[in-house]
Structure 1
Amino acid sequence: MKNWNWLVLGLMVIGFSSCISQKQITYFQTTSPDSTGVSEEIVNRYTPTIQTNDMLGINVNSLNPEASSFFNPYAGVERIANFQAMNGQVPVTAVVGYLVDADGNIQFPMLGKVKVAGLTSARTQELFQEKLKNYLKEPTVSVRFLNFKVSVLGEVARPSMFSVPNEQMNINEALSLAGDITIYGRRDNVLVIRETNGKREFGRINMNQRDLFKSPFYYLHPNDVVYVEPGKSRLAYADRFYTILPSIIGALSLIAVIIRR
């Protein structure tokens, strides 16, 4: 029974050491008690621009479908991948599309090299529609990023890499996809790692405060990495667990002996 006492004591220690205050886990807090219901202007909305090594999906349509198909060489592969996914098969894993080369160009049927680096997807659509008027009647073009992904690591429920289909994701959405920050994660010091123009930036966001909406790291960029570091309660939990582990093993051994008798 002595082992049982140690087991109970150890579990109590873990329980007390992992206590976390409400202030540490509450999102979007404000220092002003009168700010409830107050609206604020949305700032820093992010629109991605095309960079070297981006992969673009470009789809062309016009009044003549047969003529349009000449400008959609990857459409067949995409349809196969969609069909396989709908039927529970493993879809085509290769990313198909137009790779932006080191000079910021893509090679497009009939048009040859087209400079797209630095443009938004909307501006690129307008550019291609204008160029394709020489070949198609009333062409329409859709352009989307195929490699807009963000990674979420650390103290979240489901760390993973997530694709962004609509060219925009904020840190709240990324954490939601990852199952939210665990009870042990630090909400006041979330790290965003970003690579732009050959430089790596490190930004910190306090999810507890409403000021996060004004942060330049609130809207995520392609290939951003979000890292949630563990808090002191996680470290204390781990320390306590390994401290009482021998007692737990001893208690389980005792139970096994009693059951056998």
Structure 2
Amino acid sequence: MKNRFFIVVILINVLLMSCIPHKDRLYLQNKQQATDSEQVVVEQQKPYRVQINDILNIRIKVTDQENVQIFNPIGEGNLNATAGERAYFDGFTVDLHGDIRIPELGKLHVLGYTTDVIEKKIKDKLLAEQFKETANIFVTVKLTGLRFTTLGEIGSKGMKTLYQDRVNIFEAIASSGDIPDTGNKKDVLIIRQYPQGQKIHHVDLTDVNVMHSPYYYIQPNDMIYVKPLKQKAWGTGTTAIQNITTAASILSLLTTSILLFNRI
């Protein structure tokens, strides 16, 4: 009888320890203050610099618009194409050398430049080779959506594209189905591309100070990896009630097995 009681105590303790603490499930906790009345200033996003394989959407407008038809894509007429497909075929992809090729203007090096700088480079090249100041040239350069990839313990895995100028980490996660209770919100990895290679950055989404982080806003081609908590590998419940239910089932099975064994 004592052995049975001992087994029950150990089993309940193990199952209760395996539940996920409430504080590990909450986003944006104020861990430095007793209250959450303090305002948090969001980290200012730095201008994005174009990378290899980025796709740029370039539009050129002048007084006589017929003179720039060769520069502007015409794929909008294909109603069967998705936004992503139109962006791929109509946009200007940055090649392995960091260049794009524009009709009549030829190659233009854009690697490492912001879209504002690229707009100026295109306008200057047009004025030098194609038009005069009186043409009133207006150039816009945008990324064709913000593309990122989600992996690990998250609702929806895979590549996503959001057609916004900027996206923060919470918007990216929300668009991917959120992080379940079994995902580690305290140590989310952001794998980011740089000219010299990839780097891994760690962010704690349970801390309100994540909004101060330089990685609060994601960048094109980021990979977001959410590690599973050890509780998932144990296969128990995520709350104490779920664990007690599991414990009751196991205890019932053990009791039945012991009674049957004693009758043999």
Match runs of 1:23-34 below 5 Å = 23-33=23-33
Q: Secondary structure at the match of 1:130?
A: helix
CA distance in 2, matches of 1:37, 1:144: 38
Number of aligned pairs?
Answer: 227
Match runs of 1:55-74 below 5 Å = 55-72=55-72
1:84 is aligned to 2:80: yes
Q: Secondary structure at the match of 1:213?
A: helix
Deviations 1:80-129 (A, max 9, x none): 1xx225xxx89847812222234332222222222222211122123223
Bigger-Rg structure (1/2): 2
Q: Secondary structure at the match of 1:125?
A: helix
| TM-score, scaled to structure 2 | 0.73
Retained in 1: the 8 A contact 2:150–2:224? yes
Match runs of 1:138-153 below 5 Å = 138-146=136-144, 148-153=146-151
Shift of the alpha carbon at 1:55?
2.0
1:158 to 156, 159, 173: 156
Letter in 2 for 1:183: D
CA distance in 2, matches of 1:49, 1:113: 18
**Change in CA separation of 1:114 and 1:208 when aligned onto 2, cut-off 3 Å:** same
- Give the match for residue 184 of structure 1: 182
- Give the match for residue 102 of structure 2: 108
Identity of aligned residues (%): 27
Match runs of 1:242-257 below 5 Å = none
CA distance in 2, matches of 1:170, 1:139: 33
**Change in CA separation of 1:76 and 1:208 when aligned onto 2, cut-off 3 Å:** same
- Give the match for residue 174 of structure 1: 172
Deviations 1:210-260 (A, max 9, x none): 22122232222221111111112211227999xx99x99xxxxxxxxxxxx
CA distance in 2, matches of 1:147, 1:203: 23
1:95 is aligned to 2:93: no
Shift of the alpha carbon at 1:144?
1.5
Deviations 1:147-200 (A, max 9, x none): 741111111112231114234222111111111100111111111112212322
CA distance in 2, matches of 1:94, 1:146: 6
CA distance in 1, matches of 2:227, 2:131: 54
Q: Secondary structure at the match of 1:126?
A: helix
Retained in 2: the 8 A contact 1:190–1:226? yes
Letter in 1 for 2:136: E
Retained in 2: the 8 A contact 1:47–1:120? yes
CA distance in 2, matches of 1:13, 1:237: 15
Letter in 2 for 1:95: Y
CA distance in 2, matches of 1:204, 1:114: 35
Q: Secondary structure at the match of 2:66?
A: helix
CA distance in 2, matches of 1:141, 1:90: 21
Structure 1 unaligned residues grouped into runs of 5+: 1-11, 249-261
**Change in CA separation of 1:27 and 1:91 when aligned onto 2, cut-off 3 Å:** closer
CA distance in 2, matches of 1:139, 1:66: 13
